Chain A
């Protein structure tokens, strides 16, 4: 009886120890997941007058934004949409991978015979569009009204 009790205690202790280790591993997993870079961006899609969709970009445009940007484009684009307008008023950070994403988006937009326009770029981000020569192919405007007007122009 006492041997069985001792055996039970031993088993209990082992289980406790295993549980502790499991919790430790879970904690490490949680920490690592938090350390892993994730998309720090939201993109809301609005349909405005005519056949124009606006994507409101808020946060960081980096390689991690690829899924969010392409999802937003799919949502913004259907057979009737002639132009996609990116609203960069909420853009907080952009690296060179973010520029690469915009090139990929532009190629998709061109393939669908749509236009890609932007507004709300700060002086700093306008300068980056000039450095990378994205401004050769993506229309930059001061306001949403101006961008939508340009999108609706022939």
Chain B
């Protein structure tokens, strides 16, 4: 009657389950609210200069505000909330057993966990930030930079924070520590720290696309896309290994 479940099938089933578990009204409303507020701030500050401001100055201000608020706060925090909960919630409430004790490989579960977190968190960040870039009206460069950086940053953060949810009990606390301390402080004073901060790659994409100089934004577009892709791969592989070795309650 039963057989093993193929990798693709396992991804589809697990993805559906996790998306359903992740999407709660409270989470979506709270995070969408944060996204909208930040987006309004970005839009308002960018347009505050009025007619005295040159197009170049307006782009510089808009890019700076978008980078500092959107990609330092909104993208990583939203990714953290959803990705750490992807398996973290199931692990904590004891329902992971209903996925784990099945004839499924672990890698499709890890892939599905990452995709589920991205499926939910990407629209919550991409839509308000893109709308903010449009309202700022400082040129299409910022809009495209926002879209690309949001996609790359979101996919990378969700992979890393999903792993964090599997590794630690208080993953949100650890995640906030990473965002504030590592990305906010260590990355600025250490070369190694900078390379291990996803924020550096999203800022580099924005800087590259808009031509605006940004702190921690001096990598080429190719590196800013390829390195996060490798980070995603590494995080998914480590999550697979973690799922294999996990003690399930």
Answer yes or no: do A and B interact. Answer: no
